[in-house]
Amino acid sequence: MGYIDGHVHVWTDDLAGYPLAAGYAVEQMRPPTFTPAELLAHAQPCGVDRIVLIQMSFYGTDNSYMLDAIARYPEVFRGVAIVDHADAELAERVARLRAGGVRGFRVYQLAGGDTPPLDAPEYADLCGVAGELGMAVCPLIDVPLLSGVGRAADRFPATTFVIDHLARIGAGRPIEPADVDALCALAEHPNCVVKASAFYALGAGKAPYDDLVPLIRRVWEAFGAERMMWATDCPYQVQSETYGDSLALIRDRLPFLTDGDRAAILEGTAARVFFSP
């Protein structure tokens, strides 16, 4: 089979059928739409035939648009949903989402506020039920909160934790060695996986992204290719760069990778984590 893109968002301007969550406005939808058809027009010519959809924040915990996309293209898409981790019916809701093609749950772990770490009691039910059902917990996370992922990984060894976007290292700031060390420290937890993704937003943010090569090499040395997966973070990748620019960094510009490593990063890891039965 072809490549797997491990992280993409889709949305529609059909606000009657798919209303925005409270606090979001239509002006925030840029581009105005990024439908599955628009996504596939970028992905398929590059040899990508499976994609993991990440619930868009515009919709909050209403995962309907993502679920409808999965139902329409069941061989192509799997999903990462957003749920209320305090939901009294969390286990039942998670099971229903799994039946609809969801294989993971997004958790926001961004620094600068009062966000509790991932090992806090409020996340225990979500981490536990995800592990029981063979699903992943996928934190969008900043470096200061990474240690909480390690503690959660120890507490829930059956749960896979997928770190989005190289922990946002180099997003709006220099790539600091201490930040890279903090991310690579999670490699001691065998249930932690890293997405090499959102290259447009890290470092210089310009193709061919060669300034990111040392960071990616360090992560590869720590985690190995079997615990890395590539992703674009479309549509944001294609607003200033191209879809192929993202793919080419992993496929063509990392000479330290073996053919087997590339196959794992571009397909195998995501297939195991998100496309298993």
Judged against a pLDDT cut of 80, whether residue 120 lies above it is answered with yes
SS3 of 103, please?
Answer: strand
259-272 pLDDT, tens digit per residue, is 999 999 999 999 99
Question: Would you state the pLDDT for residue 112?
Answer: 87
Q: What residues have CB less than 8 Å from 73, skipping those under 6 apart?
A: 36
Q: Is the pTM of this model over 0.85?
A: yes
Q: 133 with 159: CB under 8 angstroms?
A: no
Confidence of residue 254 (pLDDT cuts 50, 70, 90): very high
Work out how many domains the chain is built from and give that number. Answer: 1
Question: Would you state the pLDDT for residue 113?
Answer: 84
Mean of the per-residue pLDDT values for the chain?
Answer: 97
SS3 of 173, please?
Answer: coil
What's the first-to-final CA gap in the chain, in angstroms?
16
Range of the domain at 191: 3-274
Query: Mean pLDDT throughout 73-84?
Result: 98
Judged against a pLDDT cut of 90, whether residue 1 lies above it is answered with no
CATH number at residue 226: 3.20.20.140
Confidence of residue 98 (pLDDT cuts 50, 70, 90): very high
Q: What residues have CB less than 8 Å from 10, skipping those under 6 apart?
A: 34, 35, 36, 39, 53, 56, 65, 66, 69
